[in-house]
Amino acid sequence: MSHTITDSPYVRGQVQPNFRSGQVTIIDYVVGGETVTAAEIFCTSVQSVFFAMCTINSLGLVLLPILVSGKIILVESNAGVLQQIPATVGLNAQVNFLATVTP
């Protein structure tokens, strides 16, 4: 795992106990996705998550984060076809999220 999570009262649930929001920065991306655990956003489980498009990254592409089996997979649209990006060292993709959780 190669990521950081911006810490804030929103990530810790101090503003709304059943919601978490913040930013995950995926530093080095591996094919298959980046695992982020519920404990990292200070909850016991995640019910649903919304990601914003990722426009800040070293590839200079608009990336679409998708949650699959607990991993954030980054995809790009190539001629209307979604495909996972290749492994990228130094990607530094900033992914904003809003999640509904069980505290």
Q: Domain of residue 76: give its range.
A: 3-102
Quick check: 62 and 50 in contact, CB under 8 A? no
29-86 pLDDT per residue, tens = 999 999 999 999 999 999 999 999 999 999 999 999 999 988 999 999 989 999 999 9
Q: What Rg, from alpha-carbon coordinates, does the chain have?
A: 13
Task: State the CB neighbour count (10 A cutoff) for residue 57.
Answer: 21
DSSP string, 21-36: EEEEEESSB-TT-EE-
Structure tokens at 72: 């954030």
Please count the structural domains in the chain.
1
Q: Which pLDDT value is given to residue 12?
A: 82
By three-state DSSP, how is residue 10 classified?
helix
Quick check: 28 and 88 in contact, CB under 8 A? yes
The rounded Cα 65 to chain-centroid distance in angstroms is: 6
Top-ranked range on mean pLDDT: pick from 1-5, 10-14, 94-98: 94-98
